[in-house]
A = this chain, B = another copy of it.
């Protein structure tokens, strides 16, 4: 039977202003996890009942650990940021479907925006061939060396121009004439929508990892839907980000919202 586990925290430290990296001892999750999946973290504060979905940033199957990178944006992530080495946190996972990796693709474009970046790191570890990673941030890039150490070419855009290109990630991609066989992207919906349009006009297949507010995280409550339409369908459907996603083909997603 599946169950929520109490996972021991090996490390929990700030890596950029308001951005934390947490390593959890979680053998069962590490064993099963694939890039693009996420976990539910549960709060200790009794006022906060719902799990916080956080993408798996790195999976270490030998050590039985997973790494999460999260931004402090509210009370739940604020609580997590206070946890210390040796504390435990309740966690459930791996959840969701993860990226679908096609061994035939040899030239990869990986696009991350802000806290959408972390799940792409584990993905890149699984990609073979040429990899261009385009990352957009407000001011503080994260994980740059990590991507570079995997042999990827990293291109950075910051909104305020504090690092490298000033502007958004799509502008950067256009400027650098990004090209490849496939795109993997994770980030704010508006960014994904823009990159999706670019991918369509350049006829490059693209997988996107979506976010939505969740209650159960396991597909039972139908709370976390996105509008989708498969080619073969006549009508659009509300599908579950937690169970049918978080990764979808960009052509399935209806971006109108």
Question: A: which residues have CB within 8 A of B?
Answer: 45-48
Give Cα A48–Cα B48 distance, bound, in whole angstroms. 13
Give Cα A46–Cα B46 distance, bound, in whole angstroms. 5
Which residues on B sit within 8 Å (CB–CB) of A48?
46
Residue in A45, A46, A47, A48 whose Cβ sees the most chain B Cβ within 10 Å: A46
Give Cα A81–Cα B151 distance, bound, in whole angstroms. 54
Q: Determine chain A's interface SS by DSSP, over half rule.
A: loop
Q: Which chain B residue has the least Cβ–Cβ distance from A45?
A: B46
Q: How far is the CB of A199 from chain B (nearest CB, A)?
A: 45
A-B contact pairs, 5 of them (CB 8 A): A45-B46, A46-B46, A46-B47, A46-B48, A47-B47
Give Cα A47–Cα B45 distance, bound, in whole angstroms. 8
Which residues on B sit within 8 Å (CB–CB) of A46?
45-48
Which residues on B sit within 8 Å (CB–CB) of A47?
46-47
Q: How far is the CB of A69 from chain B (nearest CB, A)?
A: 27
5 closest Cβ pairs, A-B complex: A46-B47, A46-B46, A45-B46, A47-B47, A46-B48
Q: How far is the CB of A135 from chain B (nearest CB, A)?
A: 37
Give Cα A48–Cα B46 distance, bound, in whole angstroms. 9
Give Cα A48–Cα B45 distance, bound, in whole angstroms. 11
Q: How far is the CB of A118 from chain B (nearest CB, A)?
A: 29
Q: Which chain B residue has the least Cβ–Cβ distance from A43?
A: B46
Give Cα A47–Cα B46 distance, bound, in whole angstroms. 6
Give Cα A97–Cα B105 distance, bound, in whole angstroms. 80
Give Cα A46–Cα B44 distance, bound, in whole angstroms. 10
Which residues on B sit within 8 Å (CB–CB) of A45?
46
Give Cα A201–Cα B47 distance, bound, in whole angstroms. 53
Q: How far is the CB of A205 from chain B (nearest CB, A)?
A: 46
Give Cα A167–Cα B247 distance, bound, in whole angstroms. 71
Give Cα A45–Cα B46 distance, bound, in whole angstroms. 6
Q: How far is the CB of A104 from chain B (nearest CB, A)?
A: 52
Q: How far is the CB of A115 from chain B (nearest CB, A)?
A: 26
Q: Which chain B residue has the least Cβ–Cβ distance from A47?
A: B46
Q: Which chain B residue has the least Cβ–Cβ distance from A48?
A: B46
Give Cα A46–Cα B48 distance, bound, in whole angstroms. 9
Q: How far is the CB of A76 from chain B (nearest CB, A)?
A: 12
